[in-house]
Amino acid sequence: MRNSTFLVLVSLAMGGGVARAQETPRAFVGARILPIVGSEIERGTLIVDKGKIVAVGPMDSVPIPAGAERIDVSGKTLMPGLVDTHSHIGGIGAADASSPIQPDAREFDAINVRDSGFRRAVAGGLTTLNIMPGSGHLLSGQTVYVKLRGGNTIEDIVIRDSQGEIAGGIKMANGTNSMRDKPFPETRAKSAALVREKYIKAQEYRDKIAKAAGDAEKMPARDIGLEALVEVLEGRRIVHHHTHRHDDIITVLRLSKEFGFRVVLHHVSEAWKVADEIAKAGVPCSVIQVDCPGGKLEASELMFETGGVLERAGAKVAYHTDDWINDSRFFFREAALGVRAGMTRTGALKSLTINGAEMLDLGDRVGSLEPGKDADFVVLSGDPFSVYTHVLQTWVEGKKVFDRDDPKDRLYAVGGYGAGREQQPYFCCFDREDQ
Amino acid sequence: MRFSIEQIRRWCSVALHGRRGTHHARSIAADEPRRYVKTGRAFTAFSSGLLLFASLAVRDASAQIAVKGKKVHTMAGATIDDGVVVLRDGKIAAIGKSAQVPIPDGMRVIEASVVTPGLIDAHSTVGLSGIFNHPHDQDQLERSAPIQPELRALDAYNPKEKLVEWVRSFGITTLHTGHGPGELISGQTFIVKTAGNTVEDALVVEEATIAATLSEEARKGDYMGSDKGGKSPGTRGKMMAMLRQELIKTQEYMRKREKAEDDKKPDRDLKYDALARALKKEIPMLITAHKAQDIANALRLAKEFDLKIILDGAAESHLMIDEIKAAGVPVILHPTMMRAYGEMENMSFETASKLRKAGIPLAIQSGFEGYVPKTRVVLFEAGITAANGQTFEEALASITIDAAKILGIDKRVGSLEVGKDADLALYDGDPFEYTTHCTTTIVNGKVTHEGKR
């Protein structure tokens, strides 16, 4: 991430903030810590420095470094920031209506970082998001992975990979959402045929590039859509695939096998009917938990039990908000309803954190409290799966981005006049001396 | 563990539940005075109906149930620890501490951690709106004209709709449902139980309210025209003008129908008949309004025409507390987890608690969803208010006794008291907790859901 000159100036004017981000280590002491990787700590200490986790463990075995700021979080619960594998906050404008397959369109170019949804997301404890275009296309564009670290433009919140490229996947869909009037397909077979045709083009494009062996004269004309699909074929870009009905799920598995792409199945209303097949294919699932089945035919057999059924079958499970379908402030609730319907608590906690991180290829950076990982965490008033629990604070890369005690943040946590307006993006405490 | 013969017999019968339930419902329809099942007023016929029910009871002992709860939230006085509720012939026959209320021999005993009155969804479209969201199962909104108060919910409700079964499995036993928000006057609402083979079996109140909408969705025409050939309003001023004009026409109709000589009486008109009942305060108008200025318009309309109104939705009611309080108007508040966009952008999880503290009568609704979730569950929506300022008891009241009072059915439902309908919800923990299950739902003394929902 690069800070713009503007931001540096602003933060200097504010007497700190971004440019000065966390100079001294911080020790969060006394909380019940759910590190997700590793066992629960009854009363623990988390040490954070320079945006990273330095140490985590029981209070009596983790020394507090000299000069560290000690923050007492006794009686609270502390766990990793939540990873949402499927969100639409900030806008869903990648592909347009011109064709059903548009791998060239980037969500990156479409996001309004002032959308109040971002403020609600940190109020819900979310720190990493996969922001996706919608599901009305067979392929609606490139998704973008973001960190809710605060910023003034999309550049400030985007996650970049080790090569400095924008991190993200490809959004695909099958079933009824992407079956529309021309030029969209009308049937499932046509849907699959169009997708296969496009991936075969991408294979040929890839092969031409390989054959050119660096000779510019022999290179095919650049095609930014096919470039993105070559990344998919090479496993560098993950397919995030909207799919509901059991036979549509199986179709995704079949296409994934044919073209060798890595895929995460999203929503999966009927995954409970084909859980063994999904587990056998080793394909992870990102589940939507809504309060009732239906709304369309292919979701009429949606069940609360899906997460637990997939877990028992041995498939990797995450939940997602699909915000605005579910408000980001109720992300914990989705996994809690999974527990209600038979998922293990351990599995449900992973489904909000490390499992989602792994589905975004970010498992080495976020999703658990381990030394070396980003200091992304939430402080909760109680058990993560209780209706009475509130997110008290959200921290991203060692910086507080939400504080329920701050009236400006509280507005987004509970709502009220002005909570729906576009807002300067979530520098919760940027005007405070201690930040 | 010890099982009584009665319990075992009951388990066997559960396996046949569907067929048996259907048969039983038909036998009620054939054998009984229908009014007993239908109307609140006919509850006074209780004693005369008793003999009939006694004979039914012989045929179906499952109607005789005792419910034991570690906590029984009666919503009529204090919570009873270690309580028992004896159900007989579809009514509550006795309630109290288990040490003091004997369970008659032969009764099926069902135990639970927490027992509450059957929940009331104070405003829904379930039964008119269906799970598939296709034209064949969407009857909650007629778009052919902006003002159609003559549309009866009775003629559109599907008692076998899957959404009815879904909400029942979370403990909801009474639904105020009908024509949804979306047209200036979209039609009538009514009140049903969530069980019954036909709409008549399920009926509680045939005509509960006339549903009006002062929100964005009813302003389909734009300010330069309309998508209904000038019929639909495009602005707030036009909405109010159209409503006022229809109510004034109704006043004229009423005057002429009452005063004129027989041969000069205007022809009967279902639309004006319906609006006349609102003007005579026989039924309230349910006015959906979210923005503060629309709430103000609703209150002004009520004052001008001396209407009894219920504010519905009311996302910005937290900005209008003094005005609503002064008007003495109850609020059936939007689902707490409603999306904070458009006219709802200023909604707050704390509105319920603020209205409550001001002393404004309050109930919580599941509302209408055009996509997913096809219905919300009022148990969950109330739970979020219990985490945001309402006490547990207050949140529960918003979906039981207070909802019953606003809807005028509190003599029959909403609390656990002797003589009231045997509608109960049983849970294996705090009903509002995400991980608690509704283990049993009882409607009119009959088990209609069992399991771990």
Which of B341, B388, B435 best probes binding to A when mutated, by most A CB atoms within 10 angstroms?
B435
Q: Is B348 close to A333, i.e. CB distance below 8 A?
A: no
Taking the Cβ of residue A386 and every Cβ of chain B, the question of whether any pair is shorter than 8 Å is answered with yes
* Residue A421 maps to a domain: no
Q: Which amino acid makes up residue B175?
A: L
Q: In whole angstroms, what is the distance from residue A428 CA to residue A147 CA?
A: 15
Name the DSSP class of A424. S
End-to-end CA distance of chain A: 19
- Give me the pLDDT at residue A421, please: 78
Segment 289-318 of chain B within 8 Å of chain A by CB:
316, 318
- A187 and A307 in a single domain? The answer is yes
B330-342 confidence digits (pLDDT tens): 999 999 999 998 8
**Cβ-Cβ contacts under 8 Å, B344 against chain A:** 420
- Give me the pLDDT at residue A400, please: 96
A81 CA to centre of own chain:
11
Averaged pLDDT, B26-52: 35
**Cβ-Cβ contacts under 8 Å, A388 against chain B:** 386-387, 433
What pTM value is reported for the model?
0.90
Q: Which two tokens stand for residue A16?
A: 């700190």
ipTM of the complex: 0.92
Q: Is A292 close to B372, i.e. CB distance below 8 A?
A: yes
How large is the angle between the packed helices B270-279 and B236-259, nearest 10 degrees?
90
* Residue A284 maps to a domain: yes
**Nearest beta carbon to residue B384 from set A387, A419, A421:** A387
- A200 and A347 in a single domain? The answer is yes
- A61 and A139 in a single domain? The answer is no
Sketch out chain B's domains with CATH numbers. Answer: 5-115+417-450 (2.30.40.10), 120-407 (3.20.20.140)
Q: In whole angstroms, what is the distance from residue B451 CA to residue B441 CA?
A: 9
- A60 and A90 in a single domain? The answer is no
Q: Which two tokens stand for residue A90?
A: 């900030």
Taking the Cβ of residue A200 and every Cβ of chain B, the question of whether any pair is shorter than 8 Å is answered with no
- A206 and A59 in a single domain? The answer is no
**Nearest beta carbon to residue B435 from set A294, A340, A418:** A340
Q: Is A388 exposed, middle or buried (0-12, 13-18, 19+ CB in 10 A)?
A: middle
B20 versus A165: which is more confidently predicted? A165
Q: Which two tokens stand for residue B291?
A: 């923005």
Element counts in chain A: helices (H) and strands (E): 12, 17
Q: In whole angstroms, what is the distance from residue B278 CA to residue B285 CA?
A: 6
Nearest chain A residue to B344, by CA: A420
- A52 and A167 in a single domain? The answer is no
- A236 and A301 in a single domain? The answer is yes
- A382 and A354 in a single domain? The answer is no
List the pLDDT tens digit at each of the 435 positions of chain A.
Answer: 333 434 333 333 333 334 444 579 999 999 999 999 999 999 999 999 999 999 999 999 999 999 999 999 999 999 999 999 999 999 778 899 999 999 999 999 999 999 999 999 999 999 999 999 999 999 999 999 999 998 889 999 999 998 999 999 999 999 999 999 999 999 999 999 999 999 999 999 999 999 999 999 999 999 999 999 999 999 999 999 999 999 999 999 999 999 999 999 999 999 999 999 999 999 999 999 999 999 999 999 999 999 999 999 999 999 999 998 999 999 999 999 999 999 999 999 999 999 999 999 999 999 999 999 999 999 999 999 999 999 999 999 999 999 999 999 999 999 999 998 776 554 444 444 443
* Residue A128 maps to a domain: yes
Taking the Cβ of residue A420 and every Cβ of chain B, the question of whether any pair is shorter than 8 Å is answered with yes
- Closest C-alpha to B32, from B58, B5, B10, B50: B50
**Cβ-Cβ contacts under 8 Å, B431 against chain A:** none
- A39 and A169 in a single domain? The answer is no
End-to-end CA distance of chain B: 24
Q: Mark which of A359, A378, A395 sits at the end of a domain.
A: A359
* Residue A349 maps to a domain: yes
Q: Is B348 close to A414, i.e. CB distance below 8 A?
A: yes
Nearest chain B residue to A382, by CA: B387
CATH of the domain at A403: 2.30.40.10
- Give me the pLDDT at residue B219, please: 86
Which of A291, A330, A423 best probes binding to B when mutated, by most B CB atoms within 10 angstroms?
A291
Q: Is B262 exposed, middle or buried (0-12, 13-18, 19+ CB in 10 A)?
A: exposed
In sequence order, what E strands does A143-228 have?
144-147, 170-173
* Residue A217 maps to a domain: yes
Taking the Cβ of residue B3 and every Cβ of chain A, the question of whether any pair is shorter than 8 Å is answered with no
Distances from the Cα of B146 to the Cα of B60, B218, B295, B297, angstroms: 48, 8, 19, 18
Per the structure, the complete domain to which residue A408 belongs is given by 5-80+369-414
Statement: residue B36 has pLDDT above 80: no
- A228 and A92 in a single domain? The answer is yes
Distance from CA of B420 to the nearest CA of A (A): 30
- A76 and A91 in a single domain? The answer is no
Averaged pLDDT, B39-58: 39
* Count of structural domains, chain A: 2
CATH of the domain at A271: 3.20.20.140
**Nearest beta carbon to residue B434 from set A336, A414, A420:** A336
* Residue A154 maps to a domain: yes
- A234 and A379 in a single domain? The answer is no
- Closest C-alpha to A152, from A381, A384, A425, A386: A425
B348-361 confidence digits (pLDDT tens): 999 999 999 999 99
* Residue A420 maps to a domain: no
Statement: residue B25 has pLDDT above 50: no
**Cβ-Cβ contacts under 8 Å, B365 against chain A:** none
B408-425 confidence digits (pLDDT tens): 999 999 999 999 999 999
* Residue A434 maps to a domain: no
**Nearest beta carbon to residue A290 from set B130, B134, B373:** B373
Taking the Cβ of residue B341 and every Cβ of chain A, the question of whether any pair is shorter than 8 Å is answered with yes
**Cβ-Cβ contacts under 8 Å, B374 against chain A:** 292-295
Q: Which two tokens stand for residue A256?
A: 């994934």
- Give me the pLDDT at residue B54, please: 40
Nearest chain B residue to A330, by CA: B337
B218-234 confidence digits (pLDDT tens): 887 665 554 545 578 98
